[in-house]
Amino acid sequence: MTYFALKHIHVTFALLSGLLFLLRGIWMLSGSQQLQRRWVKIVPHIVDTLLLASAIGLAVWSSQYPGQQSWLTAKVLALVGYIVLGTIALKRGRTQQVRAAAFAGALACFAYIVLVAVTRSPLP
């Protein structure tokens, strides 16, 4: 596998991950029972695991690591924010208002991660 093939896989899983999060967030906001479907509880975890594995593969292949490259450090820090806010939005938020605010924040983190990836700058 070439670097560009791995990068394409990573971008594909990033897109799938973002779309699945957006869909689950919309379902959460609308109170849909779709969130209780078995595939909704399994597929996002598989996609996110493959996204992380491809990210690690890209870092190793290119010898670019967080802490060494400021843009990768920014992506990892934003990823932590995305995960925390996403968890609040989809599971841990006590009220619909808290969940909606966390959902908006998680989407903003996701957008920032994509912009940093495209520009390779922590301040896109």
pLDDT, tens only, 63-79: 999 999 999 999 999 99
- In this prediction, residues 69-92 reach a mean pLDDT of 97
Per the prediction, the chain carries an average pLDDT of 97
Q: What percent of the chain has pLDDT over 90?
A: 98
- pLDDT grade, residue 1 (50/70/90)? confident
Q: Are 88 and 71 in contact (CB under 8 A)?
A: no
Burial class (CB in 10 A: 0-12, 13-18, 19+), 73: middle
Q: Whole-prediction pTM value?
A: 0.94
Residue 75: CB partners within 8 Å, gap ≥ 6?
66, 113, 116, 117
pLDDT, tens only, 7-40: 999 999 999 999 999 999 999 999 999 999 999 9
pLDDT, tens only, 43-66: 999 999 999 999 999 999 999 999
Q: d(Cα 58, Cα 6) in Å, to the nearest integer?
A: 7
